[in-house]
Amino acid sequence: GENVEQHPSTLSVQEGDSAVIKCTYSDSASNYFPWYKQELGKGPQLIIDIRSNVGEKKDQRIAVTLNKTAKHFSLHITETQPEDSAVYFCAASMGGGSQGNLIFGKGTKLSVKP
Amino acid sequence: GAGVSQSPSNKVTEKGKDVELRCDPISGHTALYWYRQRLGQGLEFLIYFQGNSAPDKSGLPSDRFSAERTGESVSTLTIQRTQQEDSAVYLCASSLGWSRTPGAETQYFGPGTRLLVL
């Protein structure tokens, strides 16, 4: 089955710097890759997602890149702010059918220091 | 509009007791998922409902765990004879499901139920 590895497990940056979180997946059939942000005591919130027919997607300060050949995808946050501090999870799925569930990485705790 | 809701938000129980956790998905979402999140860990898939199809139970860790869903609405996750290792946050998510609409597979999560087994 699918396996998702996520690095780093913790990341500390200064406010205004960029943050990059990387994930790899094992199943080439995976075609949908969301990123979630989870604040303490809350459920995960979708921040951006990408499908396998595109290589990059941007939404203001957040971007995701996908390399299908290498089976890895990355989250880029520019101009980080203290409110970006949270745990970020990457995930992969085949986007429907009998395997619509998400397989998650173990998470990255991002701390943005003011 | 209303998001995914879960109840109770917190549950403390004694080892050996049964517990029921409830999930109300977003209206119109045909797919519903249950995940478990142990402290400081990622999310672990438990079970997936899609419309009237047979649920995908491949993630349930033991026969003490079961879930039901009535049509395309409320779901309950039941844990029988709870053990201390069942202590975790149980998260429910829903999505549009089979629709070919862009974004149909996007899963929206509820706030979770924090279960503590003493």
For residue A107, give Cα distances in angstroms to A9, A35, A103, B40. 6, 10, 12, 8
pLDDT recorded at residue A99: 54
pLDDT digits (tens, 9 = 90+) for B75-109: 999 999 999 999 999 999 999 876 666 677 789 99
Average model confidence (pLDDT) for chain A? Answer: 92
- Asked whether the predicted pLDDT for residue A17 surpasses 50, the reply is yes
Our CA angle for A61, A86, B109, nearest 5°, is 90
- Quick check: A46 contacting B, CB < 8 Å? yes
- How far is C-alpha B56 from the geometric centre of its chain's CA atoms? 12
pLDDT digits (tens, 9 = 90+) for B43-69: 999 999 988 888 989 999 999 999 999
A110: closest CA of chain B, how far (Å): 13
Arithmetic mean of pLDDT, A32-54? 92
Q: Do A46 and B106 touch (CB under 8 A)?
A: yes
- Quick check: A93 contacting B, CB < 8 Å? yes
DSSP E strands in chain B: the ranges are 5-7, 10-13, 19-24, 31-37, 43-50, 65-69, 75-79, 88-95, 108-109, 113-117
3-state SS of chain B: helix, strand, coil percent to 5? 5, 45, 50
Closest Cβ–Cβ partner in A34, A43, A104 for B112: A43
Asked if B75 and B49 touch (Cβ cutoff 8 Å), the reply is: yes
pLDDT recorded at residue A95: 63
- Asked whether the predicted pLDDT for residue A46 surpasses 70, the reply is yes
Q: How far apart are CA A16 and CA A99, in angstroms?
A: 39
Arithmetic mean of pLDDT, B29-44? 92
Q: What is the pLDDT confidence band of residue B2, given thresholds at 50, 70 and 90?
A: confident
Q: How far apart are CA A48 and CA A59, in angstroms?
A: 8
Closest Cβ–Cβ partner in A45, A93, A101 for B59: A101
pLDDT recorded at residue A51: 87
pLDDT recorded at residue A98: 46
